[in-house]
A and B are shown apart, each in its own frame.
Chain A
């Protein structure tokens, strides 16, 4: 089986600026949980954006499950993203609808029937411990709860890959550990998880593979098992 994520000489240069990512070679195996770490500007977010095809690489190869993604036409991106779960530091929740509708959004896009949507949204909310808040507006939730809604939205479509960009950036250590434990739980049921975080004490605590980026380059890689 090919690696679920494979980067070869992957690079990204934004127009009118320096290389954000430079010649990254990386393989993530199916069912793996890995942390991307490094200082601010190291290229962690850029790498996640390239994997999610939010940005297109300017050089190199990116293969997902053996498929070359650099040649994927724009029209194929939505279908690809439906197989991903993406979590951001700022949650990106919609405040004009309740928690249930936020989590249901990826399922509505795929066109599932209401009964399936209801069942899967409630299962996802139950998993993150927010089933009782399904009718709440996201604004009425704490930062930790909002992040958990974001995670429920990311996993509700049963993604093969979960990408998280600084998911604990605004949270205190206790809530951060709680969020990380959720990622570990999803990983244990077979989801490949790639988390970008600069919080080294937190990621060392979980004893998983750690990939260190610096100035757009992969400089170190090790397992904390």
Chain B
């Protein structure tokens, strides 16, 4: 009788694959033999994954859509003597700044025309000897610039230019919006961590019940030379399937939640004058699926090590 190391031949690989196929089959049988318990576990995982996913996707949609809103723009009022050529030169120079996406130019004449149309004071304007309105540069910062401090620095930078009389930034509105979004993002992260722990608990409990149900079988397998890896394999597949199916159900729940949220977001969309779209992309579903599988597998590995230690033939 010799205790030999395993050889890694083709036969060994085929045997390894065969064992995995059997483990998968066993795991499917375990699940099908307890459909109610399996379904409840999958639903618990789905709910635990769906809630933080819904918050995350909603916040993300609001952030990215409102990021383009006019409130993030800077309005630079030029000194009155700045002519059209100087104005366009300045706009071109500003667009070279990586913090700026693009600049809209409004000449003095255009400013006056806009005022005339919006104010309804055509008669009074006709009486004025000169155009009193300055030329304006509407500066649209880069999409990644979403912090008030950074926008403030950009404002100071533009203000320091000799051609510029003053710069306006709706700071109060920006501060409130981004502070709220950051708070919700942090809340989503905390919720995600909490619910990841919940998924781990659900998997642990599901596997604990399965291990207890198969205690006799585990004892016999250990008795006839089954290693811990061999015993754990069907449970790993079980956990992977629970996590994967839970994630797919979670995607379905998020899609249902979005259907309910869309009418409410349309009001927000109207207020900010920007379209807000809640989309559940294939990339997110795939990420959620991977997350569910990895989280379940890790929970299973940790749980089984402690659960199986207590079972000896």
Which A residues are closer than 8 A to B by beta carbons?
A: 4, 52, 54, 64-65, 67, 75-76, 78-84, 86, 92-94, 96, 105-106, 108-114, 153, 157, 160-161
A111 and B225 form a contact (CB under 8 A): no
In whole angstroms, what is the CA distance A111 to B230 when docked? 10
In whole angstroms, what is the CA distance A93 to B217 when docked? 9
Chain B contacts of A161 at CB under 8 A? Answer: 1
Additional A-B contacts beyond A76-B3, A78-B225, A92-B219 (5; CB < 8 A): A78-B226, A80-B225, A81-B222, A92-B220, A111-B15
A113 and B225 form a contact (CB under 8 A): no
List residues 225-262 of chain B with CB under 8 A from any CB of chain A.
Answer: 225-228, 230
How far in angstroms is the closest Cβ of chain B from A134? 18
Give the number of chain B interface residues (Cβ < 8 Å). 26
Chain A contacts of B225 at CB under 8 A? Answer: 78-84, 106, 109-110, 157
A113 and B224 form a contact (CB under 8 A): no
A112 and B15 form a contact (CB under 8 A): yes
In whole angstroms, what is the CA distance A167 to B221 when docked? 19
- A109 and B313 in contact (CB under 8 A), knowing A65-B1, A94-B217? no
Chain A contacts of B287 at CB under 8 A? Answer: none
A154 nearest CB neighbor, chain B only: B224
How far in angstroms is the closest Cβ of chain A from B277? 52
In whole angstroms, what is the CA distance A127 to B2 when docked? 26
The residue that B18 contacts in the complex, of A52, A80, A111, with Cβ under 8 A, is: A111
Instruction: Give the secondary structure class of A's interface.
Output: mixed
- A153 and B3 in contact (CB under 8 A), knowing A96-B217, A111-B12, A113-B14? no
Chain B contacts of A64 at CB under 8 A? Answer: 1
The residue that B216 contacts in the complex, of A67, A94, A111, A153, with Cβ under 8 A, is: A94
How far in angstroms is the closest Cβ of chain A from B228? 8
A113 and B3 form a contact (CB under 8 A): no
B5 nearest CB neighbor, chain A only: A79
How far in angstroms is the closest Cβ of chain A from B270? 62
Chain B contacts of A67 at CB under 8 A? Answer: 3
Chain A contacts of B14 at CB under 8 A? Answer: 113
In whole angstroms, what is the CA distance A4 to B1 when docked? 9
B16 nearest CB neighbor, chain A only: A111
In whole angstroms, what is the CA distance A60 to B310 when docked? 25
In whole angstroms, what is the CA distance A81 to B313 when docked? 12
In whole angstroms, what is the CA distance A64 to B1 when docked? 9
In whole angstroms, what is the CA distance A86 to B220 when docked? 10
How far in angstroms is the closest Cβ of chain B from A169? 17
- A80 and B3 in contact (CB under 8 A), knowing A92-B223, A111-B12? yes
A109 and B1 form a contact (CB under 8 A): no
In whole angstroms, what is the CA distance A81 to B225 when docked? 5
In whole angstroms, what is the CA distance A82 to B262 when docked? 62
The residue that A160 contacts in the complex, of B1, B228, B312, with Cβ under 8 A, is: B1
